């Protein structure tokens, strides 16, 4: 009797465990999507990361071999082992040594030591294959220190739903948080560090949204905003209450740009008289207000049909280049947006492009535009720019002297930008020298 009850207890408890496990698994399956949305980091660390790390370990050797990153042992050794081992398989090729796979909040990081004869570019080329093999969104390879590369993988696109909060209040002068970087950090446009910017992108790729974010961030600051929008002012007139001047056709633009050049030259005289190298060396009272010039659709300024227009376009181009050359130290900053920035717009465009150090490339219609916007950077930057889909509007590749990054602007609608401009209209500096009337 006693024995019988003992066996029945022994038989029932594993089935209890099974039932409990089944309940737990089905519960997780049912609640999974909700948990994942609510606690993405915890979900990734507990469920996603272990699986992906296992995949990395499993596929490391075949992946390296498949990408041509394995180095075979000395041929002599292979022959000897064939003789001595009597048909035993020859020694496996050497693969690059991998460090610990460390999780991040949305992916993982891994250091890899290069084998003799390898350079980081070999690994950069293999990045797409790694992403496919490990089933992650993207893999970026950068040089870490001599002989070591750093592999950063993102499990999902961190820019699909960026988590960096929008900027509130004025913040630092001429510094605006306009969106989020792929790393999760804030995307900050700092005009004192990089004074002039070129923003390219096809129609509805997010150029105006980025300008909205920039204007919304600058509006509460003590700066003058100047607009040049030769498509009849359809875009920039939204911020008119906060603009110190606005040109809505090429004729006005040429006069406004000439006035801006004069203003810049006056500032130069001022600085020279005070024996300082830039306006930041002037004392607070005599320092002129920084001016941010926003040009929407640069092509409208340069494309010409007649001889007369050609002269205007030339004058506009020369003035813009002049402003870019002199402006940075004299507190005049340029933000130029356009769909195309090719030399087909005229010779001035190439020279202007060279002066605009900050580059933002949204989705573009043709590879040539991405190339012109990003310069001769790594080919992977161009690929990243060309991979942006229309659904990812606002996503862009940023380039500066020391590399490239993916980022996405905050979605600041026209209505929001208009409201911010109206709210801070009282801060609009009066620059009477920019009020250029028709002759
Ligand atoms: N950062 C963003 N996040 C989400 N959606 C965006 C973002 N930027 C742009 N969009 C969407 O794309 C549309 C077109 O953007 P817009 O800035 O007007 O493009 P463009 O000026 O290049 O023609 C916007 O109305 C918006 O719906
Ligand atoms: Mg636009």
105 burial level (CB within 10 Å; 0-12, 13-18, 19+): middle
The 10 Å CB-count burial string (b at 16+, else e) for 362-395 is bbbeeeebbbbbbeebbebbbebbbebeeebbbb
Length reported for the chain: 439
Query: What string of DSSP letters covers 345-398?
Result: G-HHHHHHHHH--EEEE-S-SSHHHHHHHH-S--HHHHHHHHT--GGGTTEEEE
Token couple for 183: 């790393």
Phi, psi of 246 (to 5 degrees): -145, 130
Closest approach atom of ligand 1 to CA 210: 17
The predicted-structure confidence for 243-273, as pLDDT tens digits, reads as follows 999 999 999 999 999 999 999 999 999 999 9
**CA distance linking residue 107 with residue 91, whole number of Å:** 34
Whether 204 lines ligand 1, by a CB cut-off of 6 Å, is yes
* Pairing mode of beta strands 243-247, 291-296: unpaired
The neighbourhood of ligand 2, an ion, using CB within 5 A, equals 207-208
Three-class secondary structure of residue 323 per DSSP: helix
Between 436 and 101, name the one with better pLDDT: 101
Where do you find CATH 3.30.980 in the chain?
28-154
Annotation-wise, does 205 bind a ligand? yes
Mean pLDDT of 216-238: 92
Residue 307 tokens, joined: 């001889």
Average pLDDT over residues 366-378: 81
Taking the centre of ligand 1 as the mean of its atom positions, its distance from the CA of residue 394, in whole angstroms, is: 5
Residue range(s) in the chain whose domain bears CATH number 3.40.50.300 = 175-434
CB atoms within 10 A of CB 2: 5
Chain segment 52-87, per-residue pLDDT in tens = 999 999 999 999 999 999 987 665 555 555 555 565
Lowest model confidence (mean pLDDT) among 197-206, 290-299, 302-311: 302-311
Cα angle: 292, vertex 297, 301; to 5 degrees: 90
Cα separation, 154 vs 174, in Å, equals 32
pLDDT, mean of residues 194-204 = 94
**Higher per-residue confidence, 35 vs 300:** 300
State the pLDDT at residue 376. 64
Fold of 175-434: Rossmann fold (3.40.50)
Task: Tell whether ligand 1 has an atom less than 6 A from the beta carbon of residue 279.
Answer: no
The ligand with the least distance to the CA atom of 415 is 1
Rounded Cα distance, 105 and 184, in Å = 9
Six-digit token string for 321: 């280049």
pLDDT (average), residues 112-128? 93
Asked whether residue 425 is marked as a ligand-binding residue, the answer is no
Q: Is 381 annotated as a binding residue?
A: no
CA torsion 15→17→19→22, rounded to 10°? -130
Distance from residue 207's CA to the centre of ligand 2 (Å): 5
Given the candidates 3.30.980, 3.40.50, 3.90.1690, 1.10.287, the CATH classification of the domain at 28-154 is 3.30.980
pLDDT digits (tens, 9 = 90+) for 20-43: 999 988 887 888 788 888 888 888
pLDDT for 1: 44
Mean pLDDT, range 295-303, rounded to an integer: 90
Our mutation pick for probing the ligand 1 site, out of 187, 208, 216, 393, counting the most ligand atoms within 8 A of Cβ, is 393
**Which atom of ligand 1 is least distant from the CA of 211?**
17
94 is in an annotated binding site: no
Split at pLDDT 50, 70, 90, the class of 437 is low
> What confidence tens digit (pLDDT) does each residue in 127-162 have?
999 999 999 998 989 888 999 999 999 988 888 877
* Per-residue confidence band for 340, with pLDDT thresholds at 50, 70 and 90: confident
Q: How confident is the model at residue 342 (pLDDT cuts 50, 70, 90)?
A: confident
What's the 200 CA to ligand 1 centre distance in angstroms?
13
Residue 302 CB partners (closer than 8 Å, separation 6+): 313, 316, 317, 345, 346, 348, 349
Contact 367, 356 (CB under 8 A): no
Is 96 touching ligand 1 by the criterion CB < 6 Å? no
- Model confidence at 322: pLDDT above 50: yes
Helix (H) / strand (E) element for 151: namely strand 148-154
Q: Does residue 15 have a known ligand-binding role?
A: no
Query: d(Cα 422, Cα 241) in Å, to the nearest integer?
Result: 6
392 lines ligand 1 (CB under 6 A): no
Judge contact between 327 and 334, C-beta under 8 A.
yes
What spacing in Å lies between the alpha carbon of 30 and ligand 1's midpoint? 35
| CA 338 to ligand 1 centroid distance, Å | 14
Please tell me the distance between residue 291's alpha carbon and the centre of ligand 2 in angstroms.
22
- Interatomic CA distance for residues 107 and 216, integer angstroms: 32
Instruction: Say which ligand is closest to the CA of 164.
Output: 1
Choosing from 181, 204, 341 the residue with most ligand 1 atoms within 8 A of its CB, the one to mutate for a pocket test is 204
pLDDT of residue 14: 77
For residue 201, pLDDT over 50 is answered with yes
Taking CA atoms only, the protein residue closest to ligand 1 atom 8 is 394
Are 352 and 222 contacting, i.e. CB atoms less than 8 angstroms apart? no
Q: Read off φ and ψ for residue 28, nearest 5 degrees.
A: -65, -40
Query: How is residue 165 annotated by DSSP?
Result: P
Closest-approaching ligand to the CA atom of 234 = 2
pLDDT for 6 equals 47
Point out the ligand nearest to the CA of residue 162: 1
CA 189 to centroid of ligand 2, rounded, Å:
19
Alpha-carbon distances, residue 291 vs 132, 134, 174, 221, 329 (angstroms): 47, 49, 10, 11, 12
Residue 229 has pLDDT above 80, yes or no: yes
> Torsions phi, psi of 111, nearest 5?
-100, 145
Tokens of 367: 């590879």
The CB of 425 under 6 Å from ligand 1? The reply is: no
Residue of 231, 234, 391, 394 to test ligand 1 pocket, by largest number of atoms within 8 Å of CB: 394
Q: Please name which ligand lies nearest the alpha carbon of 229.
A: 2
| CA-proximal residue: ligand 1, atom 13 (nearest) | 204
Cα of 402 vs centre of ligand 2, distance in Å, is 28
What confidence score (pLDDT) does residue 74 get?
65
**How far does the centroid of ligand 2 lie from the alpha carbon of residue 411, in Å?**
13
């Amino acid at each position: 009797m006693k024995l019988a009850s003992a066996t029945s207890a022994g038989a029932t408890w594993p089935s209890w465990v099974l039932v409990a496990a089944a309940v737990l698994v089905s519960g997780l399956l049912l609640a999974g999507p909700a948990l994942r949305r609510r606690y993405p980091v915890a979900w990734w660390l507990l469920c996603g990361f272990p699986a992906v790390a296992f995949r990395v370990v499993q596929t490391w050797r075949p992946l390296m071999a498949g990408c041509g990153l394995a180095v075979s042992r000395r041929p002599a050794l292979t022959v000897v082992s064939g003789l001595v081992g009597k048909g035993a398989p020859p020694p496996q090729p050497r693969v690059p040594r991998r460090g610990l796979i460390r999780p991040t909040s949305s992916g993982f990081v891994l250091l890899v030591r290069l084998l003799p004869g390898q350079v980081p570019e070999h690994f950069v080329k293999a990045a797409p294959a790694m992403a496919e093999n490990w089933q992650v969104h993207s893999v970026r390879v950068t040089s870490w220190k001599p002989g070591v590369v750093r592999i950063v993988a993102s499990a999902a696109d961190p820019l699909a739903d960026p988590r960096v909060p929008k900027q509130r209040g004025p913040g630092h002068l001429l510094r605006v948080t306009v969106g989020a970087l792929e790393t999760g950090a804030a995307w900050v446009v700092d005009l004192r560090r990089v004074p002039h910017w070129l923003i390219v992108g096809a129609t509805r790729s997010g150029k105006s949204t980025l300008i909205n974010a920039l204007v919304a961030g600058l509006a509460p600051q003590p700066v003058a905003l100047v607009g040049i929008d030769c498509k009849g002012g359809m875009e920039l007139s939204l911020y008119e209450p906060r603009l110190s001047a606005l040109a809505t056709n090429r004729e006005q633009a040429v006069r406004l740009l000439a006035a801006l050049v004069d203003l810049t030259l006056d500032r130069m005289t001022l600085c020279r008289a005070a024996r300082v190298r830039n306006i930041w060396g002037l004392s607070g009272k005599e320092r002129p207000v920084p001016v941010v010039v926003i040009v929407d659709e640069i092509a409208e300024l340069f494309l010409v049909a007649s001889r007369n227009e050609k002269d205007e376009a030339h004058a506009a181009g020369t003035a813009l280049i002049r402003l870019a050359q002199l402006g940075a130290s004299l507190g005049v900053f340029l933000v130029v947006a356009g769909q195309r920035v090719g030399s087909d717009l005229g010779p001035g465009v190439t020279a202007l492009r060279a002066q605009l150090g900050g580059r933002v490339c949204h989705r573009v219609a043709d590879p040539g535009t991405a190339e012109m916007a990003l310069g001769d950077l790594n080919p992977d930057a161009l690929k990243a720019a060309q991979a942006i889909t229309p659904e990812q509007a606002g996503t862009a590749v940023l380039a500066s002297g020391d590399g490239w990054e993916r980022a996405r602007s905050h979605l600041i609608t026209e209505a929001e930008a208009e409201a911010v401009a109206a709210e801070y209209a009282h801060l609009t500096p009066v620059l009477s020298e920019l009020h250029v009337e028709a002759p």
